């Protein structure tokens, strides 16, 4: 089956063509980083306007890159939620229009489910069940995954998501946006042991990063001078290590508690080089198989949406033209929204 995926949940407009849920023929992403950089974060109204400008050219490019025509597409998969409502509605409206005009089936996809499914495009595919860590700017959750439609929450964030913690730290330090990417690069030159930061909720599988952010703020207030260029790599390395430590340790513990030896790490923060390295090293020590999609498939993209769409369509899933966007859609309630 040839599926066109469309993703517009936040600030990337994306389209992709995937065959049979495994072969990625194209994956086009239009980023809005330069639009939102001056504000230090995503401005929802600007994001939705930029999606309107980009959605048609992105879809046309995805079809062209795949070497197919719109008439070859057999199904449409579009992100329904969670995300920014204004942004979601742009992709959803386009998907409905194509499905109606071409008389082909349409399915709405959970964005978080897409992140987990991205691993199916990597060539190394885990068997069910597995434990999945979905870690991004808005979500930090651990799931017991028994199928692409069956998720049970094992742990979740009580406040800030890991991606938010990176972005807020970058803002406090005045080093730019997007914070996670900049911190990852700077931390390569730093010593994570020089400036220690706290690890919270050690006895739980849940996460909390608000205290970590506060500890960075207190560290900056205690200083008599701003952080120098020479010191900055050590500060961000220590801060990053605190986030990575709890993500790795809690996910591995969740897998061990449930007798699972397969772990999928997905979402935008899964692109972090330190996180990827630590998971592979620590997982290897404990006899775990670690599955992490390529970096380009960790950040928001439409290929991952098409994978889930293929799974839904092949099992007879169909959505009507009354399908609406949802800002919140817990992954463990997939199919019931």
| 193 and 275 fall within a common domain | yes
| 60 and 142 fall within a common domain | no
| 137 and 103 fall within a common domain | no
| 272 and 149 fall within a common domain | yes
In a domain, 58, yes or no: yes
pLDDT, position 248: 98
pLDDT, position 335: 59
In a domain, 254, yes or no: yes
Domain holding 216: CATH number?
Answer: 3.30.420.40
| 159 and 260 fall within a common domain | yes
Domain count within the chain:
2
In a domain, 122, yes or no: no
In this predicted model, what pLDDT tens digit does every residue of 200-224 receive, in sequence order? 898 999 999 999 999 999 999 999 8
Tell me what the pLDDT averaged over the chain comes to. Answer: 96
- The answer to whether residue 317 scores a pLDDT higher than 70 is yes
Of 39-43, 180-184, 313-317, the range with the lowest mean pLDDT is 39-43
In a domain, 255, yes or no: yes
| 190 and 265 fall within a common domain | yes
| 142 and 52 fall within a common domain | no
In this predicted model, what pLDDT tens digit does every residue of 124-172 receive, in sequence order? 899 999 999 999 988 999 999 999 889 999 999 999 999 999 999 999 9
pLDDT, position 166: 96
- Interval 292-299 mean pLDDT: 96
Domain that holds residue 205: 127-292
pLDDT, position 72: 98
- The answer to whether residue 336 scores a pLDDT higher than 80 is no
In this predicted model, what pLDDT tens digit does every residue of 79-129 receive, in sequence order? 999 999 999 999 999 999 999 999 999 999 999 999 999 999 988 899 999
| 65 and 188 fall within a common domain | no
| 231 and 273 fall within a common domain | yes
What's the pTM value of the predicted model, to 2 decimals?
A: 0.95
**How would you write the chain as a 3-class SS string?**
CEEEEEECCCCEEEEEEEECCCEEEEEEEEECHHHHHHHCCCCHHHHHHHHHHHHHHHHHHHHHHHCCCHHHCCEEEEEEECCCHHHHHHHHHHHHHHHHHHCCCEEEEEHHHHHHHHHHHCCCCCCCCEEEEEECCCCEEEEEEEECCEEEEEEEECCCCHHHHHHHHHHHHCCCCCHHHHHHHHHCCCCCCCCCCCCCCCCCCCECCHHHHHHHHHHHHHCCCCCCCCCHHHHHHHHHHHHHHHHHHHHHHHHHHCCCCEEEEECHHHHCHHHHHHHHHHHHHCCCEEECCCHHHHCCCCHHHHHHHHHHHHCCCCCCCCCCCCCCCCHHHCCCC
């Amino acid at each position: 089956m040839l599926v066109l995926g469309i993703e517009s949940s936040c600030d990337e407009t994306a389209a992709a063509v995937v065959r049979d849920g495994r072969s990625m023929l194209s994956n086009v992403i239009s980023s809005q980083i330069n639009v939102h950089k001056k504000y230090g974060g995503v401005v929802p109204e600007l994001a939705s306007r930029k999606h309107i400008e980009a959605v048609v050219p992105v879809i046309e490019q995805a079809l062209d890159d795949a070497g197919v025509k719109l008439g070859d597409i057999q199904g449409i998969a579009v992100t329904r939620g969670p995300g920014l409502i204004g942004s979601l509605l742009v992709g959803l409206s386009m998907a409905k229009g194509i499905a109606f005009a071409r008389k082909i089936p349409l399915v709405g996809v959970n964005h978080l489910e897409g992140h987990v499914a991205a691993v199916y495009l990597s060539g190394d595919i885990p068997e069910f069940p597995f434990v999945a860590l979905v870690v991004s700017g808005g979500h930090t959750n651990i799931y017991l995954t028994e199928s692409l439609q069956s998720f049970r929450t094992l742990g979740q964030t009580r406040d800030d998501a890991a991606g938010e913690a990176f972005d807020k730290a970058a803002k406090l330090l005045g080093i730019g946006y997007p914070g996670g990417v900049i911190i990852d690069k700077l931390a390569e030159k730093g010593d994570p042991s020089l400036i220690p930061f706290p690890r919270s909720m050690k006895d739980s599988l849940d996460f909390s990063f608000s205290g970590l952010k506060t500890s960075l703020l207190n560290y900056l207030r205690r200083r008599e001078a701003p952080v120098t260029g020479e010191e900055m790599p050590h500060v961000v390395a220590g801060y990053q290590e605190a986030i990575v430590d709890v993500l790795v340790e809690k996910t591995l513990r969740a897998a061990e508690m449930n007798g699972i030896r397969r772990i999928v790490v997905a979402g935008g923060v899964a692109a972090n080089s330190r996180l990827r390295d630590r998971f592979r090293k620590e997982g290897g020590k404990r006899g775990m198989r670690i599955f992490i999609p390529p970096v380009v498939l960790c950040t928001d993209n439409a290929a991952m949406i098409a994978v889930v769409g293929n799974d839904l369509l092949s099992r007879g899933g169909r959505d009507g033209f009354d399908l609406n966007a949802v800002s919140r859609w817990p992954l463990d309630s997939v199919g019931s929204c």
